Amino acid sequence: MTKPPGFRTRILVRLMHGVFIFTRGMTLGVRAACFDAEGRIFLVRHGYVPGWYMPGGGVERGETALGALSKELREEGNLEIIGTPELLHAYYNTRVSRRDHVLFYRVTVRQTAPRLPDREIAESGFFALDALPDGVTDATARRLSELSGDMARSDYW
């Protein structure tokens, strides 16, 4: 699927999580499988790590999970949630640290404006499930396989 993150990326992620050890007891993130009215999924390619991901991010102190989800979708894709997000599963993400968990949602969205590239998001867009871009991350592929019923749900991201 995708090549492993480079040395600089691994160091940056470890440093960030080193800071989180002192500022947070546990890290919590949100991600979503965001589908438009045509059934296409929205994916992002970050400028600082390789691969295509479903949008999401960390839940900050004083923020609800749904508030964080709405904020991240707006920031990463100019996406507006239609209806009620469906919480699919809570995953333990040992690839990042032994303290990280990810809440995974399924949402229907509409894009309020095209998302222009910047330092955080290099590319983004809606893709048919049978025409995903090259470089979809392994975790993204697993979540999509779980959603389709082709793979049993795991507790690990």
Say if residue 149's pLDDT is above 90.
yes
Q: Note whether 33 and 126 are within 8 A (CB).
A: no
Q: Which CATH superfamily is domain 26-148 in?
A: Nucleoside Triphosphate Pyrophosphohydrolase (3.90.79.10)
What's the predicted TM-score (pTM) here? 0.84
Q: Could you tell me the pLDDT band of residue 147, with boundaries at 50, 70 and 90?
A: very high
Dihedrals φ, ψ of 155, to 5°?
-90, -5
Which pLDDT score, from 0 to 100, does residue 5 have? 63
Nearest to 32 by CA among 83, 70, 5: 70
β-strands 79-92, 52-53 pairing: unpaired
Tokens of 8: 């600089």
pLDDT digits (tens, 9 = 90+) for 76-126: 999 999 999 999 999 999 987 888 999 999 999 999 999 999 999 999 999
Residue 85 half-sphere exposure toward CB, CA atoms < 13 A: 23
Give me the mean pLDDT over the 7-35 stretch. Answer: 79
pLDDT digits (tens, 9 = 90+) for 30-64: 999 999 999 999 999 999 999 999 999 999 999 99
Nearest to 85 by CA among 101, 106, 70, 65: 106
